[in-house]
Structure formats: structure tokens, C-alpha cells
Amino acid sequence: MNRDKAENQYTKNTSLKAVQTMQEYIGTHFGDEDFSLEKVCEASGYSRRHADRLFRYHLDMSLKDYIHSVCLTQSVKELSESDTSILEIALNSHFQTHEGFTRSFHKKFHVTPSKYRRTQIPVPLFTQYPVEHYYALLDYEKRKEEIKMNQEISLCMVTAKERPKRKLIYLPSVKAEDYFSYCEEMGCEWEGLLNSIPERFEPAALVELPDFAVPEGCSKTAAGIEVPLTFDKPLPEGYLTVELQECTMLYFQSEPYEDENDFCAAIESTYTAVEKYKPEVYGYRFAYDIAPSFNLGAEAATGARLAVPAVKSR
């Protein structure tokens, strides 16, 4: 690596670390009474102007908008799980007035706080994606085949859960084939919106649809959740529902891992475990024709999780 490239890489790594530090500080301290934008900048070691410039460059949003999104998302939880007054929730969310909070809440979620409290309709909660994960995903896509060839076999646990008849709520894509291409096509609001539905069986996930659920002109890749058959709340434009028959979901879970940025490799190794698994030995067969499979993501402490539909063999 020549000197210019080395200096550019150092600058990129330093700015990424600063943004990651600010994200971590916000995630840990946004509920503090004395929390402020200035304290976030102090944690990064940069001036407010420079910290905001780094934030915009790496996350495509201002530091102030990011903080508001985090606080407003927390306010959704308070509105749905407590009887705290809206004014008090506004103050807890670092807004000075009821009116300012209501305007920002409506701009973010397209519903007023009071109406949300009454109806609890799905809203696009803000998900704090660590900036380093985005670049780790980019790097993994570039080196996927090399990583797969050098990947060691790891332990994968399998757990069966019975599913009754239920509904799938999902947002289909036109041409996406994986998480990266799905988010490029459909954006990332789907995760927060689907996770705002308390009736969901599991967190929002990327799903591979069975043929009968694929709309004309769409790919089999979507984002979705399962909910009880009785779910009847209105959904935003573009979201669909379909009824699923009862089946067994086989959950494949990898080992925990140390480096947070190894989530792609953990998910890939779990897919490999699914490919090698022989459900017939245990009296089942995979049933991709009757229900979707779910990529539930990965966390270092728990490993990667995939859920695959199955039925008992005859």
C-alpha cells in the first residue's frame, strides 16, 4: 500500500471509529437527564461541526436527526407501555414543549402521539445500525467466496417450534436476492416498522417466500413477520398479508462469536448447516412450499439464527 492509500485508510478508520463512538454514546446515554448533542460530540473528540460532517458522510443523516430518531423511537415504547403523560414523555425525549414533540413525532411516524397511544398502529421505529456493520457487510460481499472457502465448520443447534395457522405480514421486493440488495431496493425502514407490531412471533427478518405468496413481477425475497390469524391492524402501503397453514419451524442457531463484525460469516455458516441437515432422519421434511424461511440475523452473544419450515414425514 502506498503512502497516500495508507493515509486515506487511516483517515477512514479514524472517522469510522468516531462515528461508532458517537453511536455507542447515544445508545447508552440518550435517556440521561443531562444528555445533549454537545456531550455526544465531546465523546467523539471532535467539534460539533466536524462530528456532524462525519455523521452525514457515513450515515447520510445529521447528528441532530439521528438523536431525534432514537429519542422518538423510545417515546413510542413509553406511549404503548405506560400511562405517562405526553408532556412528560416529550420532556423525557429531550423536547422542550408538547407541541414541538408532537410535530416531530408526526413528521417521523405520520401519526400524532395521542392517536398512536389509542391505536398502536405499526410505525417505522428507528433502528440503530452500527456504522461498522455496514462496512463489514460491504467487505464480506467482496470477499464472500474467499471467506467461505476458509471457513471452519462450527457447531449449530436445531430447535423445533410448532406454529398454528397464522398470517405473514411482508414487504415484497422486485429484484432483491439478499439482505444487501433488498435494503438497496426497499430501504431500511421495514425493520423498525415490523418490530413496532407487538403481536409478532419473532423480530422482523428477511424472508424467502413460498411460491404462492410471491406477487406477480416480484422476487422471492421480502421482509416480514408472523402474527396471529386474528391480526387486523391497518398496514402502510406496499405491505401485504397472507395466511399460512400450520407447520413446524426448525430454528438453526450458530455458536456465539467474538468479533461483532463477523455476523456475515456466522449467518453464512448457519445456511451451510441448513443445507447439510437431513430432517428425514428425525421424521420431518423441509416444507418451503407452505411457509417462508426467515433470516433472523446474528448477534455476537447468541450467534446467527435461521428458521426453516418443515412438516412431519408420512
Residues 249, 252, 256, 259, CA torsion sign: negative
173 grid coordinates: 421486493
Query: pLDDT-based confidence at 3, cuts 50/70/90?
Result: very low
282 pLDDT exceeds 80? yes
What pTM was estimated for this model as a whole? Answer: 0.78
Cα angle value 127/131/135 (rounded, 5°): 125
CB of 165 closer than 8 Å to CB of 290: no
Q: Would you give the distance in Å from CA 263 to the centre of its chain?
A: 13
CB of 229 closer than 8 Å to CB of 243: yes
128 pLDDT exceeds 90? no
Distance from C-alpha of 174 to C-alpha of 163, rounded to nearest angstrom: 28
- What are the beta bridge partners of residue 15? none
Q: Would you give the distance in Å from CA 79 to the centre of its chain?
A: 22
Q: Which residues have C-beta within 8 Å of that of residue 237, sequence separation ≥ 6? A: none
What are the Cα distances from residue 41, in Å, to 23, 47, 74, 107, 191?
11, 6, 21, 25, 28
Selected from 1.10.600.10, 1.10.10.60, 1.25.40.10, 1.10.3720.10, the CATH number assigned to the domain covering 3-119 reads 1.10.10.60
Distance from C-alpha of 79 to C-alpha of 102, rounded to nearest angstrom: 12
Query: pLDDT-based confidence at 258, cuts 50/70/90?
Result: confident
Distance from C-alpha of 75 to C-alpha of 104, rounded to nearest angstrom: 11
CB of 78 closer than 8 Å to CB of 89: yes
What's the whole-number average pLDDT of the chain?
Answer: 88
213 grid coordinates: 405468496
206 grid coordinates: 428477511
Query: What ranges do the domains of the chain cover?
Result: 3-119, 131-312
Distance from C-alpha of 96 to C-alpha of 37, rounded to nearest angstrom: 14
Query: pLDDT-based confidence at 262, cuts 50/70/90?
Result: confident
Distance from C-alpha of 113 to C-alpha of 98, rounded to nearest angstrom: 10
Comparing 123-127, 226-230, 303-307, the range with the smallest average pLDDT is 123-127
211 pLDDT exceeds 70? yes
190 grid coordinates: 421495514
> Which architecture characterizes domain 131-312 according to CATH?
Alpha-Beta Barrel (3.20)
